[in-house]
Amino acid sequence: TLQRRTHFDNVPLKPQRVYEEMNRAFGPETRYVTTIGLSQIAGAQMLHVYRPRHWINCGQAGPLGWTIPAALGVATADPEGTVVALSGDYDFQFMLEELAVGAQHRIPYVHVLVNNSYLGLIRQAQRNFDIDFQVNL
């Protein structure tokens, strides 16, 4: 089996290392919630998901900002389970106010934020045309 390289000691951490640490920290019962973007694509490739309905995302070209309210919903539906949300930095900003709802109702979940300071998928597409326009955060 060909294994991806995930162990990098660079600072700041590479996303591959983040996913490696997530695999160590969270077990087979973990439900992952994520939306669109490079963090979702890489997470789908690198995170260990063991059961049906434990990888929950909004689908292709879904809405930015979906992750926080979706994670709160999953945690409410399964209060005994471990829920881990995975966001890029841009997605996280869209529904940040929903963290107050989670705090008000004491809905526990873990949120992993992969911050690359870019609109990653848009930047990647623009590079095919040798441009880098308005993708820095």
Per-residue pLDDT of 32-85, as tens digits, reads: 999 877 788 888 889 999 999 999 998 766 788 899 999 999 999 999 999 999
Q: Give the confidence band of 104 by pLDDT, cuts at 50, 70, 90.
A: very high
By C-alpha distance, which of 110, 134, 114 is closest to 123?
134
Lowest mean pLDDT among 5-14, 16-25, 68-77, 86-95: 5-14
Radius of gyration of the chain (CA): 15
Question: Which is higher by pLDDT, 30 or 135?
Answer: 30
Structure tokens at 47: 């995170």
Q: pLDDT value at position 120? A: 63
CA distance 20 to 52: 21
Could you say which architecture CATH assigns to the domain 15-127?
Answer: 3-Layer(aba) Sandwich (3.40)
